[in-house]
């Protein structure tokens, strides 16, 4: 069981899970110093950890070991986690320990500056195999904050270090990168006001020798949906660690007397069993501690965007809904262009009422039709944006992010509404509340299609607050909507996967992984996504061939098998699918519903060219192969996590397999059709040790 203890004699704090221990202590000057993050230690072992000392090689070197929250005071020359300036010009914190509280798995350690009337609380919370950390600040005098990270993390001294993270861009999100960590500082960041397609606020570090199923891995993820920054440092002396939190360089905030400043959680995982072990701990954390409805199976979705684009009409939506229902869809979502004067991307955003030409009788006839077909009904919305060509903007041009004397940059023909303004956030909540309540909307696809620019609020005393307050307003609106409409489910979207993080997942049920629905491209996107996020939150559509984005031609079964690895959806133009394709789609949707509990609720193991899910006595394997050179052999898939003494029956062929042999040498799947873009679905059921079936 998770536990938190304090040894008064050594002034050591021990936080322990079933598989790891985290230890820090107070040095002679009351500075909180890191001591251990790794295998489980007893209280006696933790108390016996030596306080590391870094002897000064010269007057140009810094002194002392790694700290739990680095500041600028004294001989500290690494990346500071906390940069503050007091009214008299003093900077940094001279730590004085005030005490601590332990509330179950939540530890709060309190400090005060030796001179300034300024307090810092370091928060730690053990949740399963994950340690969450965050910071609280209070001051009796005005303080300028230049950087306030949620935590600094240190890893043991290793002979080498490798950094894992994801990068990419629009329609190419979550591209996994593993590179040697260079000596110096490596910054992962988003300055866009949103999590971003280009990076994601998680990372992993290992010694360069870890694999999917072996080796030590240290990993962290920030629960924040706005701009963020993580600085990873490898020193010339051989140590490594990182510090991270919300905001980015160049921003400053003002902490007023009596105010409390609280950062988002920065969570950490230690895994002794490789990258797969780290991922499964993250998946468990998201399921058990983050998602609002973790055990609810995600419905099969149909989204009409790729079928009609902006040419939305009541008639074509009803036609698509009828076909979607025949295919077994459970949730029908109408995408953009149902509202205001919206007939393209240049007008209408902000005018959230049904387009009178396209829906002369409002949305009720379509919603009634969808519900009558046995499906739930969802709508696309983009509450944080506005087109200049809209009634809203003409009435409230001051509601957008802007700076005096600067042009208002248009991206995708739209501007960003300033949700840091209470009146704007209140307006957004009211129309969303009315839309959901009056129309019986079951699902919102909440989109965000451009980054912040001219992020100012003329006249505001602390303009940079908007980078934080905007995100918190989004959180608050989502929280209120869910409280007022318990049936409502929300999908997070930002031009695809640009808002994917632990912060948004605490308010939503799934994320739109990428605007790229090409199944071949999705394999890499989903691989990177799965490093931290579980299958049940990974929305994955089956769309047309040739793919609308890449023009790649792939078999329908291949598209389905790739999308079945997450929360399955359909997004093609069903009006153009042949009767044979619609029949095959219906059969594959039915098959997905059979395996859905295993995929969405089970343990995930990434395989060499596929993925395995295990839930109870059921095992599902999805395998695929793209274009390869002629003569390239197909190697067996080595399954994982099975009972080596058990027997497993193939639910489709009746073949019996030994658990040990499925894991080594492995299973050689039959991928169909022959040639490029072949795939298969394998269903196994455990029969127990020594069973003859």
Please, are residues 572 and 544 in contact by the beta-carbon 8 Å criterion?
yes
The reply to whether 515 belongs to the active site is yes
Query: Cα(28)–Cα(14) distance, rounded to whole angstroms?
Result: 18
Edge-to-edge strand list for the sheet holding 253-255: 82-85, 143-148, 253-255
Which residues share a beta bridge with 425?
none
- The one catalytic residue in 149, 335, 509, 515 is 515
Query: Cα(95)–Cα(29) distance, rounded to whole angstroms?
Result: 7
Query: Which helix H or strand E contains 366, and what residues bound it?
Result: helix 364-372
CA–CA distances in Å: residue 324 to residues 67, 298, 368, 513: 56, 16, 15, 21
The reply to whether 442 belongs to the active site is no
Please, are residues 515 and 550 in contact by the beta-carbon 8 Å criterion?
no
Q: Where are the beta strands (DSSP E) in 312-365?
A: 331-334
Closest of 217, 206, 200, 210 to residue 269, by C-alpha: 217
Query: Cα(626)–Cα(673) distance, rounded to whole angstroms?
Result: 11
CA–CA distances in Å: residue 437 to residues 351, 378, 431, 478: 18, 13, 10, 14
State the sign of the Cα–Cα–Cα–Cα dihedral 566, 568, 571, 576. positive
Q: Write the DSSP assignment of 73-135 as a string of letters.
A: SSS--S--SEEEE-TTS-BS--EEEEEEEEETTEEEEEEEESSSSEEEEEEEEEETTEEEEEE
Q: How far does Cα 607 stand from its chain's mean position?
A: 22
Edge-to-edge strand list for the sheet holding 678-689: 603-607, 610-615, 618-625, 678-689, 646-650, 656-658
Q: Write the DSSP assignment of 19-73 as a string of letters.
A: S-EEEEEE-TT--EEEEEEES---HHHHHT--------SSTTS--S--BSS--SS
Closest of 17, 20, 22, 13 to residue 1, by C-alpha: 17
Closest of 431, 441, 449, 442 to residue 493, by C-alpha: 449
Query: Cα(288)–Cα(276) distance, rounded to whole angstroms?
Result: 18
- The one catalytic residue in 149, 447, 501, 521 is 447
CB contact set of 13 (below 8 Å; sequence gap of 6+): 4, 5, 6, 23, 24, 25, 100, 107, 109, 124
Query: Cα(136)–Cα(119) distance, rounded to whole angstroms?
Result: 8
Number of alpha carbons in the 13 Å side-chain half-sphere of residue 147? 24
Which residues share a beta bridge with 676?
none
State the sign of the Cα–Cα–Cα–Cα dihedral 2, 71, 204, 492. positive
Query: Cα(603)–Cα(616) distance, rounded to whole angstroms?
Result: 9
Number of alpha carbons in the 13 Å side-chain half-sphere of residue 557? 17
Residue 677 structure tokens: 């873009």
Q: Is the peptide bond before 666 cis (omega within 30 degrees of 0)?
A: no
Please, are residues 530 and 604 in contact by the beta-carbon 8 Å criterion?
yes
* Residues noted as catalytic: 447, 515
């Amino acid at each position: 069981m998770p536990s938190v203890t304090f040894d008064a004699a050594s002034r050591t704090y021990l936080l322990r899970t079933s598989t790891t221990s985290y230890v820090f202590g107070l040095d002679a000057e009351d500075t909180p110093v890191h001591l251990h993050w790794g295998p489980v230690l007893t209280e006696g072992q933790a108390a016996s950890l030596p306080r590391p000392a870094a002897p000064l090689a010269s007057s140009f070197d810094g002194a002392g070991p790694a700290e739990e929250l680095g500041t600028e005071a004294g001989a500290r020359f690494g990346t500071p986690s906390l940069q503050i300036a007091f009214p008299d010009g003093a900077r940094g914190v001279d730590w004085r320990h005030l005490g601590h509280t332990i509330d179950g798995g939540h530890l709060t350690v309190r400090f005060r500056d030796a001179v300034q009337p300024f307090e810092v609380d370091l928060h730690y919370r053990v949740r399963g195999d994950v340690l969450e950390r965050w910071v609280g600040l209070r001051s009796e005098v005005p303080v300028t904050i230049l950087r306030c990270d949620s935590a600094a993390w240190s890893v043991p001294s290793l002979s080498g270090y490798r950094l894992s993270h994801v990068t990419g861009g629009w329609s190419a999100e979550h591209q996994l990168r593993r590179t040697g960590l260079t000596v110096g500082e490596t910054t992962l960041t988003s300055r866009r006001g949103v999590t971003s397609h280009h990076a994601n606020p998680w990372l992993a570090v290992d010694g360069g020798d870890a694999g999917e199923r072996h080796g030590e891995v240290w990993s962290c993820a920030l629960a924040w949906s706005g701009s963020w920054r993580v600085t990873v440092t490898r020193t010339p002396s051989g140590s490594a660690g990182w510090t991270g939190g919300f905001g980015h360089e160049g921003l400053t905030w003002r902490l007023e007397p009596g105010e409390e400043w609280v950062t988002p959680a920065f969570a950490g995982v230690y895994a002794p069993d490789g990258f797969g072990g780290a991922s499964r701990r993250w998946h468990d954390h998201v399921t058990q501690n983050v998602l609002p409805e973790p055990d609810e199976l995600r419905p099969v979705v149909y989204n009409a965007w790729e079928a009609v684009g902006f040419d939305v009409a009541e008639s074509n939506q009803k036609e698509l809904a009828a076909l979607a229902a025949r295919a077994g869809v459970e949730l029908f979502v109408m995408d953009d262009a149902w509202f205001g004067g919206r007939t393209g991307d240049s007008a209408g955003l902000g005018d959230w009422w049904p387009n009178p030409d396209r829906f002369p009788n409002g949305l009720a006839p379509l919603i009634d039709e969808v519900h009558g077909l046995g499906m739930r009904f969802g709508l696309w919305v983009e509450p944080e944006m506005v087109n200049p060509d809209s009634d809203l903007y003409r009435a409230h041009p001051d509601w957008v992010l802007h700076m005096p004397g600067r042009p208002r940059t248009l991206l995708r023909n739209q501007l960003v509404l300033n949700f840091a303004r209470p009146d704007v956030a209140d307006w957004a909540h009211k129309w969303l509340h009315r839309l959901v309540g009056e129309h019986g909307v079951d699902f919102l696809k909440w989109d965000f299609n451009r980054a912040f620019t001219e992020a100012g609020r003329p006249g505001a005393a602390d303009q940079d607050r908007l980078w934080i307050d905007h995100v918190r307003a989004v959180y608050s609106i989502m929280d209120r909507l869910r409280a007022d409409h318990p049936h409502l489910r929300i999908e997070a979207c930002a031009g695809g996967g640009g808002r994917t993080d632990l912060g948004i997942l605490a308010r939503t049920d799934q994320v739109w992984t990428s605007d790229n629905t090409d199944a071949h491209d999705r394999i890499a996107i989903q691989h990177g996504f799965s490093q931290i996020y579980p299958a049940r939150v990974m929305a994955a559509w089956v769309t047309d061939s040739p793919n609308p984005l890449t023009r790649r031609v792939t078999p329908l079964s291949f598209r389905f098998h790739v999308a079945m690895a997450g929360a399955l959806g359909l997004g093609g133009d069903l009006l153009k699918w042949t009767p044979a394709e619609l029949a095959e789609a219906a059969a594959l949707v039915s098959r997905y519903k059979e395996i859905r509990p295993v995929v969405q609720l089970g343990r995930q193991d990434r395989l060499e060219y596929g993925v395995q899910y295990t839930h109870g006595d059921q095992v599902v394997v999805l395998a695929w192969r793209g274009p390869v050179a002629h003569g390239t052999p197909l190697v067996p898939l080595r399954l994982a996590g099975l009972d080596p003494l058990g027997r497993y029956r193939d639910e489709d062929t009746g073949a019996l397999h030994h658990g040990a042999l499925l894991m080594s040498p492995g299973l050689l799947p039959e991928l169909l059709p022959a040639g490029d873009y072949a795939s298969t679905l394998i269903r196994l059921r455990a029969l127990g040790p020594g069973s003859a079936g």
